[in-house]
């Protein structure tokens, strides 16, 4: 029985490895082509697999896009959760900002994939809800930056502002001409520090009474 359990565990691990290889390939394709223009053949060619192998794990490219979004979004969520758990009373805005910038800077394919989708993509309602549910989890964590700084009715709007600002920083400066990757990252974090400082210094209770 132990041998059978070990074999099943190894098979499951192998399946998970192949699934992640497919998702990695899909991210690379989604990062350079609008979602609606990507085919399963494109992803299979990038992964170096037969198209039939992809269908073993995903029924279509839309489910692959959702799978990639949820996988990488979950990693980001865990990083943000660890920051909040370390200081639940009053979260430092700079910690959240730097973690967000670092993660999307390090995961270029994921960032470019999501940028292409926000500009060009469309999904079926059930897939849209899965993406929105992940976005709500990220924004829920952003909410902690503003807790105790304003009334509950204003928190989500402020989290939207912060999310949009950070994505704007990444879109504008991540590949800014004439700057090395290190210089670009320093510049993005500098702007992020300015935003974080503004959040720390602002009395939102007076701004939004």
Q: Please identify which residue in the block is written with the tokens 């190894």.
A: 10
What pLDDT score does 100 carry? 97
Q: Token pair of 95, please?
A: 């910690």
Given a cut of 80, whether residue 86 has pLDDT beyond it is yes
Averaged pLDDT for residues 45-66: 92
Residues 154 and 204: their CA atoms lie apart, in Å, by 9
Query: With b meaning 16 or more CB within 10 Å and e meaning fewer, what string describes 88-107?
Result: eeebebbbbbbbbbebbbeb
Residues 30 and 196: their CA atoms lie apart, in Å, by 31
Residues 175 and 184: their CA atoms lie apart, in Å, by 7
Instruction: Summarize pLDDT for 150-189 with one digit per residue, the tens.
Output: 776 788 989 999 999 999 999 999 988 999 999 999 999 9
- Give the start-to-end residue ranges of the domains of the chain: 62-207
Q: Which fold does the domain 62-207 belong to in CATH?
A: Tetracycline Repressor; domain 2 (1.10.357)
Say what the pTM is.
Answer: 0.86
35: left (phi over 0), alpha (psi -120 to 50) or beta: alpha
What pLDDT score does 182 carry? 94
Given a cut of 80, whether residue 30 has pLDDT beyond it is yes
Residues 203 and 191: their CA atoms lie apart, in Å, by 20
């Amino acid at each position: 029985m132990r041998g059978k359990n070990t074999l099943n565990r190894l098979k499951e691990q192998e399946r998970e490895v192949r699934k992640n290889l497919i998702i990695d390939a899909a991210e690379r394709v989604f990062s350079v082509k609008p979602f609606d223009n990507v085919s399963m053949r494109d992803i299979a060619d990038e992964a170096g697999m037969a198209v039939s192998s992809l269908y073993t794990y995903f029924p279509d490219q839309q489910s692959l896009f959702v799978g990639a979004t949820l996988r990488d979004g979950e990693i980001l969520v865990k990083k943000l959760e660890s920051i909040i758990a370390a200081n639940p009373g009053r979260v430092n805005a700079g910690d959240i900002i730097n973690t967000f910038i670092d993660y999307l800077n390090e995961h270029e394919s994921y960032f470019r994939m999501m940028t292409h989708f926000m500009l060009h993509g469309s999904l079926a309602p059930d897939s849209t809800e899965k993406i929105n549910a992940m976005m709500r989890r990220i924004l829920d964590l952003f909410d902690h930056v503003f807790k105790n700084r304003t009334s509950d009715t204003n928190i989500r709007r402020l989290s939207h502002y912060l999310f949009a600002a950070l994505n704007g920083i990444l879109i504008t400066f991540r590949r800014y001409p004439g700057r090395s990757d290190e210089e670009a990252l320093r510049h993005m974090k500098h702007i992020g520090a300015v935003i974080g400082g503004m959040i720390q210094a602002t009395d939102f209770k007076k701004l939004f009474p």
